[in-house]
Amino acid sequence: VKAQGLHSYRFFTASMNERTRALRRIETALRQALPRHELSLYYQPKVDAESGRIVGAEALLRWHANGRELYEPDQFIPVAEDTGLILPIGAWVLRQACKQAQLWQLRGRAIAVSVNVSPLQFQHADFYSWLDDVLNETGLDANLLELELTERMVMSGGDATTGLLQRIKRRGVRLSLDDFGTGYCSLSYLKHFPIDALKIDRVFVRDLISDRDTATITSSIIAMARSLNKLVIAEGVETREQGAFLRHAGCSQLQGFLYGAPMPAAEFQQQLLSTD
Ligand code: C2E
Ligand code: CA
Ligand code: CA
Ligand code: CA
């Protein structure tokens, strides 16, 4: 027993060191990523549940070097958050996404762009002025920008957070709660926050068809959200059955591989402009 304990202890420390080294590698490379132009935004269509028309796009960060993906967002975004690198990166994402949506608007297809905001960015004292500056500089209609926040960010901050959310709303920017249902936000709490939309997390969508409890929970989240006058968006929609279920349950927008994977800006624009 003793030997085994010692062995697993050694194993544990070795894997911790390995993990720390891997994170360091990501951090070192990530410091260079912006100046080296290795970061880009992909766009994934959000479609109207009734008409199937593209009504928005979520901007999703990608990191490529020499024509191939270096790390996935789930690997490097936590590192960016831990090291504070998410601040310059997040500012770049916001500006880039707004410029892009402004271009679509100029080409006659005014659709909303959704940007993921990280907790560190949102907590920063200058967040509102960055946002305001970007809107003023790019000239994008504020109501064509949607910020995706998580439950935790909205719930944890008290009065200061509510005040910031209200300021953002007054500026005309839309707010949605990402990954809804995975955190600890109760629906009744939601009416206190100036949130326009909820995004039902992918885990619900994934099990909708195979699991009756998931289907019941999802339907009631959608019904209650609607009774609070919130729009509901479903993410991770991969099959026609899931799409049909969610449309009947009252989702107003759908997003997922069924309607289009995240794609480079040029490809997205081509698809957008070739449809009405
Ligand atoms: P998220 O905000 O929940 O984004 C949705 C993720 O689901 C994306 O992963 C997207 O590619 C993926 N997805 C979309 N449709 C489907 C589908 O039908 N099936 C499945 N299985 N997956 C689908 P991605 O792009 O790897 O991003 C992962 C996470 O990284 C995002 O989760 C978001 O939390 C974060 N992220 C991405 N870009 C940014 C960014 O610019 N800033 C910040 N702060 N976070 C970002
Ligand atoms: Ca998101
Ligand atoms: Ca999500
Ligand atoms: Ca997520």
Alpha-carbon torsion (259, 261, 263, 267), positive or negative: negative
Task: Determine the distance separating the centroid of ligand 2 and the alpha carbon of 116, expressed in angstroms.
Answer: 5
- Which ligand has the nearest atom to the CA of 176? 2
DSSP states of 94-105: HHHHHHHHHHHH
The span from the CA of 262 to the CA of 59, in Å, is 8
Q: Which amino acid residue places its CA nearest to atom 10 of ligand 1?
A: 262
- Best mutation site among 40, 63, 116 for ligand 1 pocket (most ligand atoms within 8 Å of CB): 116
Global pTM value: 0.93
In terms of DSSP bridges, do strands 253-255 and 39-48 run parallel, antiparallel, or are they unpaired?
antiparallel
pLDDT per position as a tens digit, 86-133: 999 999 999 999 999 999 999 999 999 999 999 999 999 999 999 999
Residue 61 alpha carbon, nearest atom of ligand 1? 38
CA 6 / ligand 2 centre spacing (Å)? 43
DSSP string, 192-212: TS---EEEE-HHHHHHTTT-H
Determine contact, residues 86/142, Cβ cutoff 8 Å. no
Ligand 1 mutation pick, 38, 44, 60, 100, max ligand atoms within 8 A of CB: 60
| Single-letter code of the amino acid located at 166 | Q
Q: Look at residues 43, 55, 105 and name the one whose alpha carbon lies nearest to residue 251.
A: 55
Q: How many A from CA of 100 to the centre of ligand 1?
A: 19
Measured between alpha carbons, how far is 198 from 233 in angstroms, rounded to an integer?
6
Atom of ligand 1 nearest to the CA of 262: 11
Q: Write out the chain's pLDDT in tens, 276 residues.
A: 444 555 555 555 667 788 888 889 999 999 999 999 999 999 999 999 999 999 999 999 999 999 999 999 999 999 999 999 999 999 999 999 999 999 999 999 999 999 999 999 999 999 999 999 999 999 999 999 999 999 888 887 678 888 999 999 999 999 999 998 887 667 777 777 899 999 999 999 999 999 999 999 999 999 999 999 999 999 999 999 999 999 999 999 999 999 999 999 999 999 999 987
Beta-carbon contacts of 102 under 8 Å, excluding residues fewer than 6 positions away, are 138, 139, 140
